[in-house]
Chain A
Amino acid sequence: MTISQVNLSRRVFLKQAATATGGLAIAFYLPSSLGATDPKAPTPTGTFEPNAWVRILPDGTVKLVVHKHDSGTGTHTALAACVAEELDVNPMTVQVISPEDPFFDTYIHPVWKVFSTGGSTSVSLEYDRLRMAGATARALLITAAARQWKVSPDSCSTIEGRVVHGASQRSLAYAELVGVAAELPAPAQVTLKDPAQFRYIGKLRHKRDAQAKVCGRFKYSIDVELPDMLVAVIQRTPVIGAKVLSVDAAATLQVPGVRQVIAVPGRPDVLGGNVEGVAVLADNYWAAHQGRALLKVQWSESPLAGFDSDELVKAQSAALDDKGAQRVSAMAAGDVGAQWPVAVKLLEADYRMPYKVQNPLEPICITAQVKDNAITYWGGVQVPSSALEAAQKVCRIAKDKVIINEMVSGGSFGAREAKYWLFEVAYLAQQAKVPVKLMNSREDEMRSLFMHPATLHRVKGALDKQGRLTALQLNAVSPASPEQWEPGYFERPDKMDYSTTEAITAWDFAYRPANLDLVWVKHESNVPSGWYRSVSFIPNVFAVESFMDELADGAGQDPLAFRLAHMHERPRHVAVLKSAAERAGWGQPLPEGTALGIATHQGYTSFIAVVARLSKKNGAINVDKLTCVVDCGLAVSPGGVEEQIYGGLMWGLGHALFDRLDIKQGRVVQSNFHDYRVTRMSDMPAVDILIVDGEPGKPGGVGELGSPAVAPAIANALFSLTGVRQRSTPLNLG
Chain B
Amino acid sequence: MIEFTVNGERRELVETSPSMPLLWVLRDHLKLTGTKFGCGMGLCGACTVHLDGVAVRSCQLPVAAVAGHSITTIEGLSATQEHPLQLAWVAEDVPQCGYCQSGQIMSAAALLNTGAAVTDDSIRNAMSGNLCRCGTYGRINKAIKRAASASKEA
Contacts and interface: CB of A to CB of B under 8 A. Distances in A.
Contacts of A205: 93
B131 A678 contact: yes
Contact of B99 (A285, A362, A648): A362
A591 B98 CA distance: 39
Contact of B37 (A206, A222, A359, A672): A222
A361 B133 contact: yes
Given A216-B73, A687-B138, A681 B96 contact: no
A256 B102 CA distance: 30
Interface in A642-671: 643, 646-651
A680 B100 CA distance: 13
Among A209, A216, A678, find the residue whose CB has the most chain B CB atoms closer than 10 A: A216
B65 interface: no
Given A285-B37, A286-B21, A672 B43 contact: yes
A213 B104 CA distance: 11
Interface string A219-238: 11011010000000000000
Contacts of A649: 135
A285 B93 contact: no
Contacts of B111: none
A72 B101 contact: no
Given A362-B38, A673-B43, A682 B124 contact: yes
**Dominant SS among interface residues on chain B:** loop
A411 B97 contact: yes
A174 interface: no
A643 B129 CA distance: 21
A498 to B, nearest CB: 26
Contacts of A646: 135-136, 138-139
Interface in B61-97: 73-75, 81, 85-86, 89-90, 93-97
A214 B89 contact: yes
A643 B73 contact: no
A29 interface: no
A71 B97 CA distance: 6
Interface string A409-420: 111010000000
Contacts of A284: 24, 28
A673 B136 contact: no
A673 B42 CA distance: 9
B40 interface: yes
B124 A681 contact: yes
Interface string A357-379: 00111110000000000000000
A515 B98 CA distance: 48
Interface residues of B, number: 57
A566 interface: no
B135 A643 contact: yes
A363 B34 CA distance: 15
A220 B95 CA distance: 14
A681 B97 contact: no
Contacts of B133: 359-361, 411, 413, 678
A467 interface: no
B58 interface: no
A578 B129 CA distance: 37
B28 A214 contact: no
B75 A215 contact: yes
Among A206, A413, A680, A681, find the residue whose CB has the most chain B CB atoms closer than 10 A: A681
Nearest to B106: A216
Interface in B109-154: 123-125, 127-141
B137 A213 contact: no
A361 B131 contact: yes
Contacts of A650: 135, 137
A207 B93 contact: yes
A211 B90 contact: yes
Given A216-B75, A361-B100, A673 B131 contact: yes
A217 B27 CA distance: 13
Given A216-B74, A284-B24, A442-B40, A410 B93 contact: no
Interface residues of A, number: 55
A460 B95 CA distance: 44
Among A72, A408, A649, find the residue whose CB has the most chain B CB atoms closer than 10 A: A72
B81 A215 contact: yes
Contacts of B124: 681-682
B46 interface: yes
A680 B131 contact: yes
Contacts of A74: 96
A289 B23 CA distance: 14
B41 A674 contact: yes
A361 B100 CA distance: 7
Contacts of B21: 286
A647 B127 contact: no
Contact of B93 (A210, A363, A413, A680): A210
Nearest to A284: B28
Contacts of B123: 681
Contacts of A684: 137-138
A216 B81 CA distance: 10
Interface in A624-651: 639, 643, 646-651
A126 to B, nearest CB: 20
A673 B40 CA distance: 10
Among A217, A223, A361, A410, find the residue whose CB has the most chain B CB atoms closer than 10 A: A361
B135 A442 contact: no
Given A216-B74, A360-B97, A672-B43, A681 B137 contact: yes
A341 to B, nearest CB: 48
A73 interface: yes
B99 to A, nearest CB: 3
A149 interface: no
B130 to A, nearest CB: 7
Contact of B41 (A256, A286, A673): A673
Among B93, B98, B131, find the residue whose CB has the most chain A CB atoms closer than 10 A: B98
B4 to A, nearest CB: 18
B24 to A, nearest CB: 4
B99 A214 contact: no
B130 A213 contact: no
Contact of B44 (A256, A285, A673): A673
Interface string B25-43: 0011001111111111101
Contacts of B38: 361-363, 442
A71 B134 CA distance: 9
Interface in B1-59: 17, 20-21, 24, 27-28, 31-41, 43-44, 46
A687 B31 CA distance: 39
Given A216-B35, A216-B75, A646-B135, A441 B97 contact: no
B102 A647 contact: no
Contacts of A216: 32-35, 73-75, 102
Contacts of A441: 40
Given A284-B28, A680-B131, A687-B138, A363 B37 contact: yes
Contacts of A681: 123-124, 127-128, 130, 132, 137, 140-141
Contacts of B137: 650, 681, 684
A209 B95 contact: yes
Given A673-B44, A680-B128, A681-B137, A285 B24 contact: yes
29 contacts: A210-B93, A214-B81, A214-B86, A214-B95, A215-B34, A215-B75, A215-B81, A216-B34, A216-B102, A222-B36, A222-B37, A286-B21, A286-B28, A360-B97, A361-B131, A362-B38, A362-B97, A363-B38, A408-B98, A410-B36, A411-B96, A646-B139, A647-B96, A647-B134, A673-B44, A678-B133, A681-B128, A681-B141, A682-B124
Name the 4 nearest CB pairs between A and B, nearest first: A216-B34, A72-B97, A647-B135, A410-B99
Interface of A: 71-74, 205-207, 209-211, 213-220, 222-223, 225, 256, 284-286, 289, 359-363, 408-411, 413, 441-442, 639, 643, 646-651, 672-674, 678, 680-682, 684, 687
Given A216-B73, A286-B28, 10 more contacts: A72-B98, A205-B93, A209-B95, A210-B94, A216-B33, A216-B74, A284-B24, A442-B39, A673-B44, A681-B140
